[in-house]
Chains A and B, each alone.
Chain A
Amino acid sequence: MEFKTALPYLIGVYVGIWVGVLVFLISMQGQISGLRKKLEVLTKAVEKKAAEPAPETVNV
């Protein structure tokens, strides 16, 4: 294949890989903020559970 014919495709693949990696990075940032929210909710739930009084034991 001629160099001039192939060059745009090669540059396209190169730029494509960078765009792919960049999109991946951005999507991971979104995933992180989602996970942080979930962690916050769970932490509050655990704190709430710890604050609740232990159930009384009944001797029969």
Chain B
Amino acid sequence: MKAIYLVYSLPVILAAILVCYFPAARKWVSDVFTVGRLAVGSVAILLTGFVMAFAVAPAATLTDGVTADYAQKIFYFHVPVAITSFVGFILAAVFGGLFLAKRERRYDYLSYTTVQVGFVYGLLTELTGVIWDKAAWGVWWQWEPRLTTYLILMLMYSGYFILRSSMSEESSRARFSSVYSIIAAVSVPLTFFSIRLIPSVHPVVFSTSGSHMPAVMTISFMVAMAGMVLFSFALIRTRYTVYQLTEEIEYLQEKLGG
């Protein structure tokens, strides 16, 4: 594996360890990345990424004459939303596992919210995917490994919402949903590695041998990627803040009533 991937992932791993095991680090992150700042910052980075995709990043050379320039720009929209949807579904499984281990309601809510956000990103992935399909392959849909496994993944997460809405009893709904989110997350690595294990027409941009992109394209992609991930965190954080405040209000109302 290229050393550059290690350089990218090390700060993330280090930050995750700090936030998980040190309450002071957790408090600092919570104080600095407030709901409003996270939302505004992520939108700003997202817009910068979009502008960079069209204004800064050079056009890739494709065989299809007219559509080549614009079809390739899909890369800056499609890949970041796809990766963020994967991150969301894996996080949902982590929160599901935490709920099963600790039986705290907040983890079930976090798991549910994360699946919702991941699902919206999944829809955006499908939408940008069909644009690419038609532009690059000349068809709207092809039963090739990545498209098929991603469709299965989306159907599995549709099942998550059906499961949740079919159960009215809160504790069993939380328990079953958590187990389901963990099982469904198995489809994430399957989808990710499908085109790396099975021969496919779907392009593989990032492999163990590097990204094969010019530095400007890589930077533009990284900015778009950071914007997408941060925006998803902003959505999750905002919804969770609403949940926390509602819980606190209910508690105080009970206290006043008693």
Residues of A within 8 A of B (CB): 3, 6-7, 10-11, 13-14, 17-18, 21-22, 24-25, 28-29, 31-32, 35-36, 38-39, 42-43, 45-46, 49
Contact = CB atoms under 8 A, between A and B. Distances in A.
A28 B124 contact: no
B27 interface: no
Interface in B216-248: 234-235, 238-239, 241-242, 245-246, 248
B256 A46 contact: yes
Interface residues of B, number: 29
A35 B241 CA distance: 10
| Cβ-closest 4 pairs across A and B | A35-B245, A42-B252, A28-B238, A3-B134
Given A17-B124, A29-B36, 18 more contacts: A3-B67, A3-B134, A6-B134, A11-B131, A14-B77, A14-B127, A18-B124, A25-B39, A31-B242, A32-B241, A32-B242, A35-B249, A36-B245, A39-B245, A39-B248, A42-B256, A46-B256, A49-B256
Given A10-B131, A17-B124, A25 B238 contact: yes
Contacts of B249: 35, 38-39, 42
Interface string B127-159: 110110011000000000000000000000000
Given A13-B127, A21-B120, A43 B246 contact: no
Contacts, number: 62
A45 to B, nearest CB: 6
Contacts of B120: 17, 21
B15 interface: no
Contacts of A45: 252, 256
Interface of B: 35-36, 39, 43, 67, 77, 120, 123-124, 127-128, 130-131, 134-135, 234-235, 238-239, 241-242, 245-246, 248-249, 252-253, 255-256
A32 B127 CA distance: 31
B66 to A, nearest CB: 9
Given A21-B235, A22-B43, A32-B245, A46 B252 contact: yes
Contacts of B248: 39
Given A25-B234, A29-B36, A29-B39, A17 B256 contact: no
Nearest to A16: B127
23 contacts: A3-B67, A3-B134, A6-B134, A10-B130, A10-B131, A11-B131, A17-B120, A17-B123, A18-B124, A21-B235, A25-B234, A28-B239, A28-B242, A29-B39, A29-B238, A32-B238, A32-B241, A35-B246, A39-B245, A42-B253, A46-B252, A46-B256, A49-B256
